[in-house]
Amino acid sequence: MKLGITARLFLAILATNAVIAVAVGVAERVSFDKGFREYMRERESDRLSGLANALATLWRTEGSFESLRGNEANWRRFARTQGELGGPHRPPPEFRGDPDGPPPFPRGERPPGPPPFDMPALLDAQRQPIVGSGTVGEHALLRPVTVDGATDGYLVGVAMREPFTGAERQLAEQQTRASFVIGGLALLLAAGVGFFLARGVIAPVRRLASATHSLAAGDYATRVDPARNDELGQLVADFNRLAQTLEANESMRRNFMADVSHELRTPLAVLRGELEAVEDGIRALTPERLRSLQAEVATLGKLVDDLYDLSLADVGALTLHKERVDLAALADVALTAFRDRLAARAISVETDLPAHSVTIEADADRLTQVMNNLFENCARYASEGGRVRVALAEDAGSAYLDVMDSSPGVPAESLPRLFDRLYRVDASRSRRGGGAGLGLALCRSIVEGHGGTIEAQPSPLGGLWVRVSLPA
């Protein structure tokens, strides 16, 4: 069965916490064993110290340990009263002349204090057993019994029994059970936290995945609520921007197809109507009629050429044959071709072109195409009796061509879209009153192909001001 990302994340969190719990449990057990052994060793050392002091007192009183030799019962009573209780450091009366006397406590009772240890052994100065086992094992503690600076015997105690027995084993088992219980509770807590964490992380991812599927199916209006401020929230915001861009591009594509079909249909319809009228004898085939048909064919050809140039620019295949070009002379020649049309509408032309050459590396034909589009807009849209100003300047390694005209102007909200394809400020106007909306888009492609920029802003003359910046 294939696991989803939620189950995988949950299992990863659970497995990580399980490993941590096991590691902590093992470390705790090792630490407990080591610490408990050290604790038992310290307690046995303290007991042997007290018992050694009591034996020193007995030696001073009796001059030997003969009262204890081979007498396990007497030695056990002495060790319990003098070692575990820690004093007094003098032999009790029952040890003097009556080694088999009654025990210091009634049968079945133990002295107060910690639980009993293994009975230590007593050795003489030559380390021969007096009472108890004289074997010095791996875990044994050897404590000398010193009287007035001389060692008269040794005590041998066991710091820890291996393995644990009795109370030590019960304590170790209790610690182990506690570790298992704590580890189990930790795993349950980790499982709960992992479950909610996995759901909290995966939920926005699932919403994003669902929205992606909708977007891939063509629903570009899909949006995801950016309810987070972390990396997932940033991813959601990027997705929404992508969806918005795709929606805008899809709308532009549809509008582009509709506008192109309209722009192509109009001259074709005019041509078809004129030709049918001539064919049916409704209109005579006069030179004026031929010129009208030729004008429609030229308009159609220009539209197709512009579309072709824009398609080349889209794929980066717009050919530019760069050479050293005098921009001032190029602008003057292009403007000369429009002077008669401008004069026919009483539009005055003001020029501010430098007398010296403004030389740049550029494609002269493409730049002439840019200037023709800009001057065409001036001739078409500037009101009769208005003004057109053309200026050229150099500054900081750039050449600036400014084309301004008089009213009517362009609304401020339309200025950023003037260079979009098929965009016209007045969408309802006929194509006889304006172009197809491809000229400025083509201008931008050509200028950017030269490494320059083109921008539009309100003209001080009341109309539109277009500035072309090119590297000089």
Higher pLDDT, 209 or 4: 209
Mean pLDDT of 37-66: 83
Rounded to whole angstroms, the Cα distance separating 237 from 233 reads: 6
Residue 432 pLDDT: 44
Q: CA distances (Å), 442 to each of 36, 253, 420, in order?
A: 88, 17, 9
Higher pLDDT, 1 or 197: 197
**Residue ranges of the alpha helices (H) in 63-107?**
72-78
Domain ranges of the chain: 5-167, 231-313, 319-471
How would residue 115 be classed by pLDDT, with cut points 50, 70 and 90?
very low
Higher pLDDT, 340 or 266: 340
Q: What interhelical angle do 167-216 and 231-279 show, nearest 10?
A: 10
Mean pLDDT of 413-433: 62
> Rounded to the nearest 5°, which phi and psi values hold at 67?
-65, -15
Rounded to whole angstroms, the Cα distance separating 457 from 469 reads: 14
Architecture of domain 231-313: Orthogonal Bundle (1.10)
How would residue 8 be classed by pLDDT, with cut points 50, 70 and 90?
confident
- Take residue 389 and report the two structure tokens written for it: 């100003």
Mean pLDDT of 297-326: 73
Task: Convert 186-217 to b/e letters by CB count within 10 Å (16 or more is b).
Answer: bbeebbeebeeebeeebebeebeeebeebbee
- Take residue 462 and report the two structure tokens written for it: 């009341």
Mean pLDDT of 4-21: 75
Nearest Cα residue to 320 out of 454, 447, 455: 447
Instruction: Say whether pLDDT at 436 is over 80.
Output: no
Residue 56 pLDDT: 87
3-state secondary structure of 463: strand
Rounded to whole angstroms, the Cα distance separating 71 from 59 reads: 16
Instruction: Say whether pLDDT at 108 is over 50.
Output: no
How would residue 162 be classed by pLDDT, with cut points 50, 70 and 90?
low
Residue 388 backbone zone (phi > 0: left; psi -120 to 50: alpha; other: beta): beta
- Take residue 368 and report the two structure tokens written for it: 């002439």
Higher pLDDT, 260 or 249: 249
How would residue 87 be classed by pLDDT, with cut points 50, 70 and 90?
very low
Instruction: Say whether pLDDT at 105 is over 50.
Output: no
How would residue 426 be classed by pLDDT, with cut points 50, 70 and 90?
low
Residue 163 pLDDT: 54
> Rounded to the nearest 5°, which phi and psi values hold at 275?
-65, -40
Rounded to whole angstroms, the Cα distance separating 83 from 89 reads: 9
Q: How many CB atoms lie within 10 A of CB 35?
A: 10
How would residue 316 be classed by pLDDT, with cut points 50, 70 and 90?
low
Q: What percent of the chain has pLDDT over 70?
A: 79
Instruction: Say whether pLDDT at 97 is over 80.
Output: no
Residue 140 pLDDT: 75
Higher pLDDT, 18 or 437: 18
The overall average pLDDT reported for the chain is 76
Mean pLDDT of 385-403: 87
Q: What interhelical angle do 5-62 and 167-216 show, nearest 10?
A: 160
Instruction: Say whether pLDDT at 454 is over 80.
Output: yes
Higher pLDDT, 154 or 137: 154
Mean pLDDT of 292-314: 73
Contact present, 443 and 384 (Cβ < 8 Å): no
Mean pLDDT of 176-189: 80
Mean pLDDT of 313-322: 68
What residue type is assigned to position 46 of the chain?
D
Mean pLDDT of 162-170: 63
Angle CA 232–236–240, to nearest 5: 170
Residue 1 pLDDT: 56
- In this predicted structure, which of 113-117, 361-365, 386-390, 445-449 has the lowest mean pLDDT? 113-117
Mean pLDDT of 141-155: 84
Nearest Cα residue to 449 out of 335, 256, 315, 357: 315
Instruction: Say whether pLDDT at 102 is over 80.
Output: no
Rounded to whole angstroms, the Cα distance separating 291 from 279 reads: 17
Residue 166 pLDDT: 63
Higher pLDDT, 106 or 231: 231
Give burial (CB, 10 Å; 0-12/13-18/19+) of 421: buried
Rounded to whole angstroms, the Cα distance separating 431 from 263 reads: 8
Q: Does domain 319-471 have CATH number 3.30.565.10?
A: yes
- In this predicted structure, which of 177-181, 240-244, 304-308 has the lowest mean pLDDT? 304-308
Higher pLDDT, 343 or 257: 343
Residue with tokens 């991812």: 205
- In this predicted structure, which of 73-77, 187-191, 329-333, 372-376 has the lowest mean pLDDT? 187-191
Higher pLDDT, 270 or 135: 270
How would residue 88 be classed by pLDDT, with cut points 50, 70 and 90?
very low
